[in-house]
Amino acid sequence: MSTSKKINFSDGIKINSSALTLGNFDGFHIGHQSLVSELINLSGGLKKIIITFNPHTQKILANINEFNTITSHKYKLDLISKCDIDYVSTIRFDKKFSQLSAKNFIDLIIKKYNPKIIMIGYDSRFGYKGEGDYTYLKEYLKKTNIKVLVNSPFILDKEIIKSSSIKDLIYKGDIKKVNSFLGRPFKLSGIIVKGKAEGRNLGFPTANLNLHDKQQIIPKVGVYYVNLIVGSKKYISICNIGHKPTFYKKADLTIETHVLNEKNLVLYGKKVELDFYDFIRNEIKFNKVEDLKFQIKNDIKQLQAIKLGDNNGKKWCR
């Protein structure tokens, strides 16, 4: 399986014939993966193209400066490019583009990529004020040789898998369910920076994560079981997301990770990833530092009693 080519919609690249789909694909969850898998199966010898947007369309349409996403655009492209897709095309979405009519948008796509198959999600909308959907597309293209298909809702455990639902679960800290819906561990990534050494003074040194993408969603405050990943190495770890109430009345949110059984690991300035596996408890304000130390020891004992796997889930993209 070859890695797909990442291109911009504004590039001069034109395709003779293609099978394509389009959407925000935030999180690239198992519902998205199912859609892409279906497109691949139906494409035959056609070039397979995914069209996506950056930033997320709702950030512009709703004018939300601090709109949070499940995945950064770069990580989303990396995930999609692992599928058997020829091109991942990014539309730079801004206010001007958002005012493009559904007709003009589809005409642009046809001119650039000459699709023979267009597949969209059951709830996909496009064009100014969301006037375009499957029914619109079917009617508009009925006199052409373009086949218009719709992907059905993907249901797991009697729930429709949607990005908005996954975001709600992340905010609630239900990481196990999040991972089952994503088909992989939820991930944060960034660079390790120096903190105030409270963890080290407690005997549990922590690595402080400075996120690459400030608009990526952060799970609810609390303690989590994670894998800290540096390059090709994974380290079983415990992560605290919170405000350190035992030490401060009011402090900025921090993401601090203690790596188990690694006393001499130097991480300052390194790019790392955190794969989340489970929520263990809420952040607690302790009256005494000794009580905090005792709780951390218990958290680590619980972590050592289980085995964190890769939890990659079912792979839909082939």
CATH, residue 297: 2.40.30.30
3-state secondary structure 202-234: HCCCCEEEEECCCCECCCCCEEEEEEEEECCEE
What pLDDT score does 200 carry?
Answer: 74
**Residue 84 shares a structural domain with residue 26:** yes
Q: Has residue 313 been placed in a domain?
A: no
Tens digits of residue pLDDT in 70-126: 999 999 999 999 999 999 999 999 999 999 999 999 999 999 999 999 999 999 999
What pLDDT score does 313 carry?
Answer: 45
Read off the pTM: 0.92
Beta-strand (E) ranges in 29-125?
47-54, 87-92, 115-121
What pLDDT score does 263 carry?
Answer: 77
**Residue 62 shares a structural domain with residue 136:** yes
**Residue 129 shares a structural domain with residue 75:** yes
What pLDDT score does 306 carry?
Answer: 73
How many Å is the Cα radius of gyration of the chain?
22
- Residue 317 pLDDT grade (very low, low, confident, very high; cuts 50, 70, 90): low
Kindly compute the dihedral angle of the four CA atoms of residues 272, 277, 282, 284, in this order, to the nearest 10 degrees: -50
Tens digits of residue pLDDT in 233-253: 999 999 999 998 888 878 899
What pLDDT score does 120 carry?
Answer: 95
What pLDDT score does 309 carry?
Answer: 53
Based on the structure, what is the number of domains in the chain? 2
CA 33 from chain centre, in angstroms, equals: 13
- Tokens read off for 227: 């894998």
Least confident of 196-210, 261-275, 287-301: 196-210
Domain boundary among 143, 160, 177: 160
**Residue 291 shares a structural domain with residue 192:** yes
Tens digits of residue pLDDT in 194-233: 877 777 778 788 999 999 888 899 999 999 999 999 999 9
What pLDDT score does 307 carry?
Answer: 60
- Residues of the domain holding 27: 5-160
Q: Has residue 181 been placed in a domain?
A: no
**Residue 24 shares a structural domain with residue 143:** yes
Residues 6+ apart with CB under 8 A from 194: 208, 268
Percent of the chain with pLDDT over 90: 80
**Residue 284 shares a structural domain with residue 249:** yes
In contact, 176 and 220? CB cutoff 8 Å:
no
**Residue 29 shares a structural domain with residue 103:** yes
The kind and range of the H/E element at 248 are none
